[in-house]
Amino acid sequence: MTNYRIDNLQYANWSEKIFRQMREGGVDAVHVTIAYHENFRETVLNIEQWNRWFEQYPDLIFHGEWASDVAKARETGRTAIFFGFQNPSPIEDDIGLVAVLHKLGARFMQLSYNNQSLLATGCYEAEDPGITRMGKQVIKEMNRVGLVIDMSHSADRSTIEAADLSTRPITVTHANLHAWQPALRNKRDDVVRAVTQNGGMMGFSLYPHHLKDKSACTLTSFCEMIARAAEQFGAEHFGIGSDLCQDQPDSVVEWMRVGRWSKEIDYGEGSAAAPGFPPMPEWFRDNRDFGNIEAGLREIGFNAEETAGLMGNNWHRFFAENFTPE
């Protein structure tokens, strides 16, 4: 059996350097964020930019659309790039755009970012009324076409309802256990249970604000959290979604958190003193460091099959089951 290495969430400042580091780290596939607050037309412009990168660096990356592309990436020594959105803004208020965007290569869409959306509630809102009327219809359509529901930034009730309403498994592509590090974005046990008991997947995040002790988090502590999650919910439901934001300027943090909805700076999980990207933990600086996580998982007691699953095989199985239309 092939052991794949998949990172199911990055938002780096893309460059040839980063694409080469993906190859050095043996990363077969990466789910990249191509929209935060962009509308449909702006998202198409981001797809055009990726198409140019695919033309410029054909020996390093190509557009991944199906699980078989992960195998193709391994066979050809490249990295398959899968598109996703951290907000439903690309579909605007038009359910018909769900199928259009899947055709253009989108494979993941969050039903909300940090705020209330037309579909669901974000984790920063004071109240969470759950999935909206439009949200219920969009979930059905996403299930039909094979666009995976991602609830990484959504509030608890909305996430649990999405898991229950969806006829296909959903994901939290990048977050950690709230019990380990009580960040707003990290997931409480009842939320993780709702996602996993319906066959869903969760990717563990290396973004320092989601880590215990932030940038000083140790590899052992991170792997202990993964072991706890595996023991509670089953190792087959987990993988990595690093949330790597490599080489991004601080202005990008502002776009992520503020978009066009506010005139004020929203510091999110940072602080007024440090609004930008915090330093990564020393054992995971970039794509070349995935081997450190693999070694840490083995050291903490995962066997070879479980480790391979966590490093990518679980995501590969999930892609195979959920990217195709019903």
Contact 206, 281 (CB under 8 A): yes
Contact 114, 54 (CB under 8 A): no
CA distances (Å), origin 74, targets 5, 28, 29, 132: 9, 6, 9, 41
Whether 274 is in a domain gets the answer: yes
Whether 87 is in a domain gets the answer: yes
Whether 46 is in a domain gets the answer: yes
Structural domains in the chain (count): 1
Q: Which amino acid is at 165?
A: L
Residue 174 to residue 239: CA distance in whole angstroms: 9
Whether 1 is in a domain gets the answer: no
Contact 26, 259 (CB under 8 A): no
pTM over 0.85: yes
- Please tell me the predicted confidence (pLDDT) of residue 272: 45
Residue 274 to residue 41: CA distance in whole angstroms: 33
For helices 219-233 and 290-300, what crossing angle results, to 10°? 60
Can you give the residue range of the structural domain that contains 21?
A: 6-322
Residue 184 to residue 26: CA distance in whole angstroms: 32
Whether 61 is in a domain gets the answer: yes
- Please tell me the predicted confidence (pLDDT) of residue 1: 82
Domain containing 286 — which CATH number?
A: 3.20.20.140
Could you tell me if residue 26 is left (phi over 0), alpha (psi between -120 and 50 degrees) or otherwise beta?
A: left
Whether 306 is in a domain gets the answer: yes
Nearest to 277 by CA among 202, 192, 215, 193: 215
- Please tell me the predicted confidence (pLDDT) of residue 273: 46
Residue 210 to residue 222: CA distance in whole angstroms: 11
Residues of the chain with pLDDT under 50: 271-273
Residue 201 to residue 204: CA distance in whole angstroms: 10
